[in-house]
């Protein structure tokens, strides 16, 4: 009886999130076009109620990320135990993440070259800007991969947790999990502690999700009440290039690999994963989406042993949507400034944007920051970024939805390949009621 009730509630939540998203967009658009600025509109609603509820909700989700990732990663690693298997999953996941990102940029560069955004704008760099671009290009060649790798090892694990440094947290949690598996009975109480903490965090995720429809509504209404469609139309080719490439990545790359590599029905996958995409869209943060993504994947039959590792890793190093925006932005700015790009430049962009994706944190707007690294690598003027800033918020929302879908698709494939995928559960029409395992 209780289970049936719980089931109904969960199915209801998914629908509610979608209606909230739609209602938020409609409310925001109406406010922007039809409600004149006033104390009530701006101070009471947009910066008052919408801001408070929307951001309160994001903070609630962020509050869960570090303890949830740590506890679920320790318990996940501990239960796999076998370091060889873990290593294999790890290497393959990273390889897939890199591959899908490189494909994403290639699609973006291809589509943008066809659409040719920015053509005819004829902007000119002054001599100082050109000199800056050349100097930056030289400096960016020096970014040390060794240092980046070195920084994955935490000097102080407590500080890593406090700062929410995801790669360091992943590193230390895996070591703790492996050692606890080796310690066996000597670590029983620690194992129980982490398992219970993990269950607690999952229940807390469901608790915070209870306010999701309100949070999503307020976040989206606030964003759309400040952005008019004119600005999107004025940059139509750029926006079209980004959105078109995001759709191609989702429908062809993810659905293709799910079917061909994983043997997983991509339609069922996308249908069940849609609420997570909606959540990522409204928050524009892959990090804040981690708890919901792990939980939803579990309800889809993907074992947490895999997802607790690959989802937070993906939220940190795998940003296909972000890479797509960067690819289209490169072509747009090169066209706007009449700077020809060679084949070598295209390859350089693919390589740097793949690396930039590793360095992009899963929080709003960071993709714009790492874009300067990509521009520098081919000597494009960083000032060009200013042109796309005004419309970036909406594109940030859309690309974050794709970022989290890429992580989830590869997670499902990894789970399937390693016998950690419950097909029956995946095929069930409705999500099973959550049990904490
Ligand atoms: N907002 C994106 C994310 O969290 C990152 C970005 O592209 O700015 O995945």
User: Does the CB atom of residue 262 touch ligand 1 within 6 A?
Assistant: no
**Rounded CA gap, 398 and 116, in Å?**
21
User: Does the CB atom of residue 405 touch ligand 1 within 6 A?
Assistant: no
**Residues facing 25 on adjacent strands:** none
Give the distance (Å) from ligand 1 centre to CA of residue 357. 9
- Residue 285 backbone phi and psi in degrees, to 5: -140, 115
User: Does the CB atom of residue 322 touch ligand 1 within 6 A?
Assistant: yes
Pocket test for ligand 1, best of 361, 365, 391 (most atoms within 8 A of CB): 365
**Rounded CA gap, 248 and 341, in Å?**
23
User: Does the CB atom of residue 365 touch ligand 1 within 6 A?
Assistant: yes
Q: Comparing C-alpha atoms, which of 283, 365, 383 is closest to residue 319? A: 365
Residue carrying the six token digits 């590193």: 171
Pocket test for ligand 1, best of 282, 367, 392 (most atoms within 8 A of CB): 367
User: Does the CB atom of residue 400 touch ligand 1 within 6 A?
Assistant: yes
Token representation of residue 361? 């944190």
Contact between 387 and 309 under an 8 Å Cβ cutoff? The reply is: no
- Nearest 5°: the CA angle 285, 58, 355 is 15
* Count of other CB atoms within 10 angstroms of residue 196: 13
Those residues of the chain that have pLDDT short of 70 are 1-11, 126-145, 430-437
**Residues facing 302 on adjacent strands:** 421
User: Does the CB atom of residue 369 touch ligand 1 within 6 A?
Assistant: no
* Count of other CB atoms within 10 angstroms of residue 70: 24
Give the distance (Å) from ligand 1 centre to CA of residue 243. 15
Give the position, in ligand 1's atom list, of the atom nearest the Cα of 284. Answer: 1
Supply the pLDDT for residue 1: 44
Pocket test for ligand 1, best of 97, 357, 366, 408 (most atoms within 8 A of CB): 366
204: left (phi over 0), alpha (psi -120 to 50) or beta: alpha
Cβ within 8 Å of residue 355, ≥6 positions away = 373
Cβ within 8 Å of residue 40, ≥6 positions away = none
Q: Comparing C-alpha atoms, which of 278, 285, 281, 320 is closest to residue 410? A: 320
User: Does the CB atom of residue 362 touch ligand 1 within 6 A?
Assistant: yes
Supply the pLDDT for residue 384: 86
Supply the pLDDT for residue 122: 75
User: Does the CB atom of residue 364 touch ligand 1 within 6 A?
Assistant: yes
Supply the pLDDT for residue 140: 56
User: Does the CB atom of residue 345 touch ligand 1 within 6 A?
Assistant: no
Contact between 37 and 47 under an 8 Å Cβ cutoff? The reply is: no
Q: Comparing C-alpha atoms, which of 124, 121, 119, 107 is closest to residue 328? A: 107
Q: Which secondary structure element, helix H or strand E, spans residue 47, and what is its range?
A: none
Supply the pLDDT for residue 357: 82
DSSP states of 322-343 as a string? HHHHHHHHHHHHHHHTT----H
Pocket test for ligand 1, best of 101, 223, 319 (most atoms within 8 A of CB): 319
Q: What's the pTM value of the predicted model, to 2 decimals? A: 0.86
User: Does the CB atom of residue 54 touch ligand 1 within 6 A?
Assistant: no
Q: Ligand 1 atom 6: the closest Cα is on which residue? A: 367
- Nearest 5°: the CA angle 324, 169, 193 is 130
Pocket test for ligand 1, best of 108, 396, 407 (most atoms within 8 A of CB): 396
Give the position, in ligand 1's atom list, of the atom nearest the Cα of 289. Answer: 4
User: Does the CB atom of residue 275 touch ligand 1 within 6 A?
Assistant: no
In our burial notation (b when 16+ CB lie closer than 10 A, e otherwise), range 133-150 reads beebbeebeeeeeeeeee
Give the position, in ligand 1's atom list, of the atom nearest the Cα of 319. Answer: 9
User: Does the CB atom of residue 403 touch ligand 1 within 6 A?
Assistant: yes
**Rounded CA gap, 299 and 140, in Å?**
43
Q: Which secondary structure element, helix H or strand E, spans residue 228, and what is its range?
A: none
365: left (phi over 0), alpha (psi -120 to 50) or beta: left
- Residue 57 backbone phi and psi in degrees, to 5: -65, -45
379: left (phi over 0), alpha (psi -120 to 50) or beta: left
Centroid of chain to Cα 366: 11
**Rounded CA gap, 17 and 275, in Å?**
7
Give the distance (Å) from ligand 1 centre to CA of residue 435. 31
Give the position, in ligand 1's atom list, of the atom nearest the Cα of 368. Answer: 8
Q: Comparing C-alpha atoms, which of 319, 309, 251 is closest to residue 285? A: 319
Contact between 222 and 32 under an 8 Å Cβ cutoff? The reply is: no
Supply the pLDDT for residue 433: 43
**Rounded CA gap, 5 and 111, in Å?**
47
**Residues facing 421 on adjacent strands:** 302
Supply the pLDDT for residue 17: 84
Token representation of residue 194? 């982490």
């Amino acid at each position: 009886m209780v289970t049936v009730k719980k089931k109904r509630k969960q199915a209801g939540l998914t629908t509610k999130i979608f209606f909230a998203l739609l209602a938020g967009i409609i409310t925001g658009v109406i406010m922007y076009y039809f409600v004149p600025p006033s104390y009530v509109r701006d101070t009471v609603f947009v910066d008052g109620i919408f801001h408070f509820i929307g951001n309160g909700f994001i903070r609630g989700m962020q509050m869960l990320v570090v303890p949830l990732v740590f506890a679920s990663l320790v318990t996940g690693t501990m239960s796999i135990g076998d370091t060889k298997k873990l290593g294999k999953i790890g290497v393959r996941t990273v390889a897939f993440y890199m591959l899908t990102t490189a494909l994403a940029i290639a699609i973006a560069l291809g589509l943008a070259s066809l659409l040719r955004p920015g053509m005819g704008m004829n902007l000119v760099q002054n001599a100082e800007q050109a000199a800056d671009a050349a100097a930056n290009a030289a400096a960016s060649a020096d970014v040390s991969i060794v240092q980046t790798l070195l920084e994955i090892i935490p000097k102080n694990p407590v500080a890593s947790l406090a700062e929410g440094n995801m790669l360091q947290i992943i590193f230390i949690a895996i070591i703790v999990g492996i050692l606890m598996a080796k310690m066996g009975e000597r670590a029983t109480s620690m194992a129980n502690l982490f398992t219970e903490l993990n269950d607690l965090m999952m229940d807390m995720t469901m608790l915070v999700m209870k306010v999701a429809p309100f949070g999503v509504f307020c976040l989206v209404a606030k964003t759309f009440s400040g952005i008019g469609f004119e600005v999107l139309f004025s940059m139509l080719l750029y926006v079209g290039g980004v959105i078109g490439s995001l759709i191609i990545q989702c429908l062809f790359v993810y659905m293709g690999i799910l079917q061909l590599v994983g043997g997983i029905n991509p339609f069922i996958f996308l249908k069940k994963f849609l609420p997570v995409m909606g959540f990522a869209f409204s928050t524009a943060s892959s990090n804040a989406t981690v708890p919901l993504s792990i939980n939803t994947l579990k309800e889809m039959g993907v074992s947490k042993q895999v997802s607790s590792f690959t989802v937070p890793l993906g939220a940190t190093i795998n940003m296909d949507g972000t890479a797509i925006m960067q690819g289209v932005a490169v072509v747009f700015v090169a066209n706007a400034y009449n700077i020809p790009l060679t084949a070598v430049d295209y390859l350089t962009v693919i390589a740097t944007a793949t690396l930039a994706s590793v360095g992009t944190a899963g929080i709003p707007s960071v993709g714009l920051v790492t874009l300067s690294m990509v521009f520098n690598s081919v000597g494009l003027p960083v000032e060009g970024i200013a042109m796309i800033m005004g419309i970036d918020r909406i594109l940030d929302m859309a690309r974050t939805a794709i970022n989290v879908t890429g992580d989830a698709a590869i997670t499902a494939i990894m789970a399937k390949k390693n016998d950690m995928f419950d097909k029956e559960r995946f095929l069930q029409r409705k999500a099973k009621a959550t049990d904490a395992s």
